[in-house]
Amino acid sequence: MKAKRFLITLLAGIFVLSGCSDNSGDSSSVSKTSNNSDVSSSIPTSSSSTSISSTTISSSPSISSVDELINNTEIQYIGNRTVDYDSANECHRIFWGFQNAAEEYIAADEGTISLRIENDAGQIVYDKTININKSNFTTWTNSYWDSARLLGCYYLKDEDIEKGSSAKGSLYFMATLKDGTFFDEYKMNISDLPIKGLEIILPEIGKEYIDYEYSDEIDMITRIDSLSYTYDIHYDNTVTATFKMKSTMTYNSEPGISKMHHISYKLRDSEGIIVDSGSFYITQADMGNTVLTEEYISNLSLDEVYTLEFTNTR
């Protein structure tokens, strides 16, 4: 994609905007596409959480120094805009490349890049304009290229991205040079975004709950010895919590007879509204027996803080 430039004519007060140039080819100007990368032979991107290995793309400092590659030739094009995730260093690597009219890769001694990330839940989790200079540029190689390319690279740390409700989203990238030259905003897919953890306030451990018969007579009493949960995030960003509970029957109206018993629950959101209710069903047990129970609650959201309440069962 060719740069857009503003020429301000002071006397006439007129804005003049140059056109865009879209060409095809491995090292020519970039045509607009909907892929993660805007050059077919640029750094391959990954749709999974696996980062690009150092054997696929690596820095090649043995080529001409960056100072030698910065020259008076005007930057005309941008390409190789792509992003990958470096799990070892817990950061995203954001790449781009500038080219002159001869389609040679060159660096910018000054400028800015604007980065905005919107996750699939519609949350803006990063929005910042960053100053760049020649220290952001080095030469890179990978198996798709005939030779090394001088690219800009920005390392966006996980800790600088706000935690959201989805690990996937879109990265919007725009580069501006020191003379005001800018390139149109470009959209890329991004994954491995930091996400919020599911938060559920659990009932008190050690408390006993009564399971009544159809009358008001006590049938069983159960003590909660331990309770924990894990969770899974689904493709639609809904969450299922898995509860593991250890309990002991402390009273049985019919000693010696193992019974299936249960504890009623209510799940409330941060406003106190009941969003789910039911029972934790406990396997056959007799008085004094300790058993492990596993139950599931689905359709939860990472944007909420829930409270789980246990009640006596009638």
E strands, 60-148, where? 77-86, 91-99, 105-106, 110-119, 124-133, 137-142
pLDDT at residue 198, as a whole number: 86
Among 127, 120, 115, which Cα is nearest to 168's? 120
- The residues that bridge with 245 in the sheet, in sequence order, are 227, 293
| Mean pLDDT to the nearest integer, 271-292 | 84
pLDDT tens, 125-157?
999 999 999 999 999 988 888 888 999 999 999
Q: Is the pLDDT of residue 215 over 90?
A: no
pLDDT: which is higher, 158 or 49 = 158
Among 158, 308, 168, which Cα is nearest to 233's? 168
pLDDT at residue 102, as a whole number: 87
Q: Tokens for 294, please give them.
A: 């596993």
Q: Tokens for 278, please give them.
A: 């039911």
pLDDT at residue 32, as a whole number: 26
Q: Is the pLDDT of residue 211 over 80?
A: yes
- For residue 269, what pLDDT band results from cuts at 50, 70 and 90? very high
Other beta carbons within 10 Å of 198: 19
pTM: 0.61
pLDDT at residue 166, as a whole number: 86
pLDDT at residue 262, as a whole number: 81
pLDDT at residue 2, as a whole number: 55
Domains annotated on the chain, with CATH: 6-190 (no CATH), 199-311 (2.60.40)
| Mean pLDDT to the nearest integer, 211-215 | 76
pLDDT at residue 278, as a whole number: 92
pLDDT tens, 36-62?
334 433 333 322 222 233 334 454 443
Residue 123 backbone class (left: φ over 0; alpha: ψ -120 to 50; beta: rest): beta
Burial 233-258 (b: 16+ CB within 10 A, else e): beeebebebebebebbbebbeeeeee
pLDDT tens, 73-108?
688 899 999 999 999 999 999 999 999 888 889 998
With the C-alpha atoms ordered 61, 65, 67, 71, is the resulting torsion angle positive or negative? Answer: negative
DSSP 4: B
Q: Tokens for 1, please give them.
A: 């994609």
* DSSP assignments along 10-37, one per residue: TTTTEEEEPPP----SSSSPPPP-SSS-
Least confidently predicted of 16-25, 163-172, 272-281: 16-25
pLDDT tens, 174-202?
999 988 888 999 999 999 999 888 899 99
Q: Is the pLDDT of residue 283 over 80?
A: no
pLDDT at residue 204, as a whole number: 92
pLDDT: which is higher, 167 or 313 = 167
Q: Is the pLDDT of residue 11 over 50?
A: no
First vs last C-alpha separation in the chain: 70
| Mean pLDDT to the nearest integer, 298-310 | 90
